[in-house]
Every structure is written in structure tokens, then in C-alpha cells.
Structure 1
Amino acid sequence: MNLLNKAHLNKHLLNQIRYQLEVVEIHDYNLARLLCKIIPSHCPFERTVKINGRTLFRIPPLCKLNPLYEQVIGLRYKCLLYLVDVCGEDATKYC
């Protein structure tokens, strides 16, 4: 398989995964809670490195480099909406 076909196959596979994440419907309380717990509400890699109160450097949020970032955050949002609207749960504990 040549390089062009591999790139096309990878792009097709990535688009298929994106689509599958976008069309997921949440109807299970336990699944919604689990996904809200394991998908962080903010990028966990962002850091500010300080020594003695002086900022040495800052690591920017790298999550947006993930090609599935928008879909995963959308899935978390769907779970939060399900927990709040259907189950009547307080969503502040997942923020």
C-alpha cells in the first residue's frame, strides 16, 4: 500500500471515529457519570512552572492538538446535559 493510500485510509478512519463520537446518545446514568469523571473539564497538560514565586515558563494547553478533542468534549457535554436535565443531578461536582 503506498503512502497516499495510507494517508487517505487514516483520514477516513479518523473521520469515522469523529462521526461515531458525535452521534452517541446518552441514556445511561452510570455511563454519563463515568464519562464526566474520566473526561477532564479543562486541559490537564497546561502548566505554569514557578520557582520562588517567579514564573519560569508556561506550558500551553496541548489538548486542542488532539484530532478528536472537539468530539470528546462534546460527548462530555452531552453527559452533563443528561445528568442535569434527565436525572436532576447537580453538575458542579464535575467541573
Structure 2
Amino acid sequence: MASVNHTHNHPNFHPPNYQKSGGFDILYPLRRFVDNIQVKNYRLAHLICQIIPCCCPFERSIKMFGYTFDIPALCKLNPLYDNFVGLRFRALSYLSDECGEDVTKYIC
């Protein structure tokens, strides 16, 4: 079976944390710190999974006077959201792969 090569460009598409060259990102040191955390400890992995929620705690549906009002998830407004989600995923992967633990209790 032949492989398909991606040969065209998407000039206006950038990853979520894309920073234009020459731009200044004041949160870069903190992003790098979170991304460099190595999850190699059973207790640390559990702590990370307990502290970082699997879904946005602010997303709600409220019923008042017969109407339903949806409050959207505000987690995407957090500039470190992607970094924390990645850290939580690394912790879940460590618990599942290295420790052989069932991580369904940490998944929404």
C-alpha cells in the first residue's frame, strides 16, 4: 500500500501555543517548566491526577424560570491549559503503563 505525502502548505494554520518568531511570551519559562516535569513517581502521578481536573469545573447548565442557560468551559482561557492537560496525560500514562494501574477513576 502506497503512503500519502502531504505536499501543500497551510499558511494560516498554527498549533494552539504557536508564537510568531520574534514575539515575546512572558509565560514561556513557566510553560517550559510544566512541560519538563518528568512523571516517574507513583505518588506524584496520583497527586497530579487528583489536582488537575479531567474537565473544566466551570462548565455548567443552569435551569431558571423554565430556561436552560449554558455556561461554556472557560479552561481554554487559561494560557497554560494545554501544558497542564499534557502533564495530566503523562501522569495517567505512567500509572497505566508503568504501574499497571486502572486509571478509569481519573477519567470523566
- Whether 2:51 is the aligned partner of 1:38: answer yes
Aligned-residue offset at 1:51:
3.4
Q: Could you list the structure 1 runs, at least 4 aligned residues long, displaced by more than 6 angstroms after superposition.
A: none
- Percent identical: 51
Aligned-residue offset at 1:19:
0.9
1:34-77 Cα offsets, whole Å, 9 max, x none, are 1101110000000110137641x111000000000000010000
In the alignment, the residues of structure 1 paired with residue 65 and residue 102 of structure 2 have an alpha-carbon distance, to the nearest angstrom, of: 38
Partner of 1:59: 71
More helix by share: 1
In the alignment, the residues of structure 2 paired with residue 53 and residue 26 of structure 1 have an alpha-carbon distance, to the nearest angstrom, of: 47
The TM-score with structure 1 as length reference comes to 0.82
Unaligned runs of 5+ in 2: 1-23
Q: What RMSD over aligned residues (CA atoms) do the two structures have, in Å? A: 1.4
Letter in 2 for 1:68: L
Letter in 1 for 2:62: V
User: What is the total number of aligned residue pairs between the two structures?
Assistant: 84
Choose 1 or 2 for highest CA Rg: 2
The TM-score with structure 2 as length reference comes to 0.73
